[in-house]
Amino acid sequence: MTTLVLVLLILPIIGALIAFTSGLKKNALAFWTAEVTGTLLFLITLILLVDYKDPIDIPMRWFEFGSFSIPFGIYIDKLSLVMLLIATGLGLLDIHFAHDYMGEDPHQPRYYAKVLFFIGGMILLVSAKDMVGLFVGWEFMGLASYLLISFWHQQKDPADAGVSAFLFTRFGDIFLFAAIGLLFYLTGTLDMVKLNELSQAGKLDEEMMFVIAVFIFIAAIGKSGQFPLFPWLMRAMEGPTTVSALIHGATMVNSGIYIVARLFDFYAAAEALMVVATVGALSAFIGATSALVQRELKKVLAYSTMSHLSIAFVGLGVGSLAAGMTHLVNHAIFKALLFLGVGAVIMSAHHVKDMWRLGGLGKKLTWVALFMGMGVLSLSGIPPFSGFFSKDAVIAEAILNPGSAGLIATLVTIAGLLSMAYIGRLWLLTFAGEPRDKGLFGKVTRPSAFWIVLPLGIMAVMTLLMGFFQEHIAEMVSNGPFEEPHVAGLFFGLMSGIVLLALIIYYYYVKRPDLTEKIAAQPLIKTIHSILFNGYYIEKMIFWFAHNVIIESFAKTSHWVDQHIIDAAVNGMIGLSQRITHIFGYTHSGRVGDNSGAMTLGLLLLLAAMLTGGAV
């Protein structure tokens, strides 16, 4: 078992190296290396799942030196296994999908190497026992995400998007690093299982725990694209769609939620869950409303990702590990499905991402439309698709918890209902109605059944089937029995809301698109539209703050100090160093006689020292 786990950890890195080097000769080799590695990783995860009895616990140390030691343990319980299944399973499908999607790209070795490296980071993150391993995996993924967003780095926008992602997530990472330092200093352990136990036993200082929990949560906000650190996630859509699907839809963005779930007892004891729920509810609302008005296919999905991750956060925040994590699992599947479906559309439509130029594609891309439709139903929360159960559970838990029954529950319910509106709008504008751009419609090609449609079909079936195994999933992720929360009338209320919304968008976007344009021309609507379209101008605010407060005042002051005090001191040292070098230089004529003289002198000095030192 131990060997298998180690193989699981190392294989992606080896695969990445092989994919890169072999791919330099022939692009296809890179793909096949990635496909084989992905399959192996998934198989290993399946074996681990089938053979699972107790949590696999491998105590390892990075190094131990004197009284100082840095642990690097591996711990795989059911929660980790679920995350591993998502990472390797979706990773495999994504690689498979990329065969056609990235088929034209000349830089495939680089692409597959980075993707495998990313999967390696994710595997490390979810199987780490100590926060050191978690942090390393966290940073690996951050690096891979940056590299993949700016995969087409020759163009300006992807390169900028990569930098933006790097800076936003980095801002959060600093807090994670600080939290690790604080934990190590205060508790002496970085073992996450033990931290949960210690906090439950009440052995930790509550105020410090709260600070640490909030610090970790800030990192989670950055990684999972929550308010206010979400603008990078929208820009990240500049990367290849396969990357958006895997990293910015299904796996990496989950890691923020995973870290809170892994330290769930710690958060509960630190009484920091309400912070999680509040930020989550706010993000859910912002994401859902902004998704309503986007023009680009991928931007809709990005805002929807933000909104649904927030719903999972709210699930955790209101105290239900099972509801939050189940929603995360369901979301990963249907969001990967939707992203890859959108990828298929984009590929067939020659890289047109603007929904208003598409339309009527259902006639040509029937299977894609069908499978994406299943994803749409799951995301909107229609039974028996999996999305329904977990979303329902989160909302019910939010209502049942007295601390969140008011504003948080309202915001989350709105966000949940609006899912139907924005995703229905996306589907209708793309597949239904009449083609708006006839020239483009004529050129749309049919995607390959094996490379493109098959992975979509697998995920579509998954999202349907998982609807029947929700209790099992909930019990797995929470390591305990699961009781479905019941709120009277909730099901009926949600369903009627969803149906009503579905009818409204059908009317406005398919039957009477002219009406939509008229309404959009109203001044008030226009203002609201532009606020929502720009994500509440959060990015502008952050940039304004960064520019005026940080750069103009703080950075300029530091620059002055650096120029006039630190640099001046260093520059002053140059003259001194030159003089010292000059003096030393006198002893180095390079003449053999001088060298030999120095040696002899040294011998004499040593003897003199021995004599005066009293040795002789």
Partner 1 sequence: MFGTFSLLFVAALVSLALHRTKWLKPVALVAIFGSIFLTYSGSHIGLAGFENSEAIRLFTLILEIVLLAVILHEEEDQTLTQTLFIATASVALLQSHTLLTFIVSFEAVSIISFVLVSHIRTAAQAEGAVKMFIAGSIATGILLLGAVLYLIGGGRLGAPIAVETTALSTTGLFVMLLGLFYKLTIVPMHGWAADSYALVRHSHAAILTGVAKTVVAVAMFRFFAPFLAEHLSLSVPVMVTLAVVTMTLGNYLALFQKRIARILAYSSIAHAGYILLAFAALKSGYASTGLLYMAIAYIFMQTAVFLLLDILRKRYGIETLEALKGLAKKNGLLAFFFTVQLFSLAGIPLLAGFMGKAVVFYAAVDAGLWAAVLIALLNSALSVGYYAWIVKHLYFDEAQGPASQSNDKLPIVSQLILLAGTLTFGIFASLVFSVGNAF
Exactly one of 106, 188, 575, 590 binds partner 1 (CB under 8 A); which one?
Answer: 590
Q: φ and ψ at 496, to 5 degrees?
A: -65, -35
CB 297 within 8 A of CB 376: no
Closest distance of CB 602 from partner 1, Å? 3
Our CB check for partner 1 shows the closer of 50 and 576 to be: 576
Examine residue 541 and tell whether it contacts partner 1 (CB under 8 A). Answer: no
Q: How far is CA 307 from CA 227, 280, 318, 382, 538, in A?
A: 10, 8, 16, 17, 15
Our CB check for partner 1 shows the closer of 136 and 292 to be: 136
Examine residue 568 and tell whether it contacts partner 1 (CB under 8 A). Answer: no
Examine residue 607 and tell whether it contacts partner 1 (CB under 8 A). Answer: yes
Give all strands (DSSP E) within 198-297, no chain letters: none
Closest distance of CB 580 from partner 1, Å? 5
Examine residue 62 and tell whether it contacts partner 1 (CB under 8 A). Answer: yes
Binders of partner 1 in range 265-324 (CB under 8 A): none
Examine residue 515 and tell whether it contacts partner 1 (CB under 8 A). Answer: no
Closest distance of CB 551 from partner 1, Å? 24
Exactly one of 26, 61, 194, 472 binds partner 1 (CB under 8 A); which one?
Answer: 61
CB 272 within 8 A of CB 210: yes
Stretch near partner 1 under the rule CB under 8 A, chosen from 253-261, 472-480, 536-544, 591-599: 591-599
Structure tokens at 130: 């100590």
Examine residue 2 and tell whether it contacts partner 1 (CB under 8 A). Answer: no
Our CB check for partner 1 shows the closer of 541 and 601 to be: 601
Exactly one of 53, 66, 351, 439 binds partner 1 (CB under 8 A); which one?
Answer: 66
Our CB check for partner 1 shows the closer of 540 and 579 to be: 579
Closest distance of CB 134 from partner 1, Å? 17
- Encoded one letter per residue, x for contact with partner 1 by CB under 8 A and - for no contact, window 7-26 reads --------------------
Exactly one of 511, 522, 585, 608 binds partner 1 (CB under 8 A); which one?
Answer: 585
Closest distance of CB 384 from partner 1, Å? 49
The DSSP output letter for 296 is B
Exactly one of 504, 549, 599, 608 binds partner 1 (CB under 8 A); which one?
Answer: 599
Examine residue 188 and tell whether it contacts partner 1 (CB under 8 A). Answer: no
Closest distance of CB 598 from partner 1, Å? 4
For the chain, the 3-state helix, strand and coil shares in percent, each to the nearest 5, are 80, 5, 20
Which contacts qualify for 497-504: CB closer than 8 Å, 24 or more apart?
497/417, 497/420, 498/380, 498/381, 498/382, 498/417, 498/420, 501/417, 501/418, 501/420, 501/421, 501/424, 502/380, 502/420, 502/424, 504/421
Task: Look at residues 155, 197, 444, 477 and name the one whose alpha carbon lies nearest to residue 331.
Answer: 477
Closest distance of CB 243 from partner 1, Å? 25
Closest distance of CB 102 from partner 1, Å? 24
Stretch near partner 1 under the rule CB under 8 A, chosen from 8-16, 37-45, 83-91, 604-612: 604-612
Examine residue 63 and tell whether it contacts partner 1 (CB under 8 A). Answer: yes
Task: Look at residues 530, 529, 511, 506 and name the one whose alpha carbon lies nearest to residue 519.
Answer: 529
Q: How far is CA 552 from CA 329, 375, 510, in A?
A: 44, 47, 50
Examine residue 610 and tell whether it contacts partner 1 (CB under 8 A). Answer: yes
Placement of tokens 């929603």 in the chain: 327
CB 166 within 8 A of CB 146: yes
Residue 74: strand pairing partners: 58, 128
Examine residue 609 and tell whether it contacts partner 1 (CB under 8 A). Answer: yes
Q: Which residues of 272-285 are buried (b: 16+ CB within 10 A; e: fewer)?
A: bbbbbbbbbbbbbb
Our CB check for partner 1 shows the closer of 185 and 586 to be: 586
Q: φ and ψ at 296, to 5 degrees?
A: -85, 135
Our CB check for partner 1 shows the closer of 7 and 601 to be: 601
- Count the site residues for partner 1 by CB under 8 A: 33
Exactly one of 3, 53, 65, 489 binds partner 1 (CB under 8 A); which one?
Answer: 65
Closest distance of CB 576 from partner 1, Å? 10
Examine residue 64 and tell whether it contacts partner 1 (CB under 8 A). Answer: yes
Exactly one of 442, 584, 586, 612 binds partner 1 (CB under 8 A); which one?
Answer: 584
Q: How far is CA 130 from CA 126, 197, 219, in A?
A: 10, 14, 17
Largest CA distance in the chain: 108
Binders of partner 1 in range 448-507 (CB under 8 A): none
Closest distance of CB 613 from partner 1, Å? 6
Examine residue 206 and tell whether it contacts partner 1 (CB under 8 A). Answer: no
Examine residue 567 and tell whether it contacts partner 1 (CB under 8 A). Answer: no
CB 290 within 8 A of CB 234: no
Which contacts qualify for 46-55: CB closer than 8 Å, 24 or more apart?
46/85, 47/4, 48/1, 48/4, 48/5, 48/8, 48/76, 48/81, 48/84, 49/81, 49/85, 51/1, 52/78, 52/81
Placement of tokens 């003289």 in the chain: 597
Examine residue 443 and tell whether it contacts partner 1 (CB under 8 A). Answer: no
Our CB check for partner 1 shows the closer of 519 and 609 to be: 609
Exactly one of 6, 504, 551, 598 binds partner 1 (CB under 8 A); which one?
Answer: 598
Closest distance of CB 610 from partner 1, Å? 5
Examine residue 578 and tell whether it contacts partner 1 (CB under 8 A). Answer: yes
Closest distance of CB 587 from partner 1, Å? 8
Residue 439 CB-density burial (10 A; 0-12 exposed, 13-18 middle, 19+ buried): exposed
- Give first-to-last CA distance, the chain, whole Å: 64
CB 105 within 8 A of CB 77: no
Residues that bind partner 1 in the complex, under the rule CB under 8 A: 61-66, 577-578, 580-581, 584-585, 587-588, 590, 592, 594-596, 598-603, 605-607, 609-610, 613, 615-616
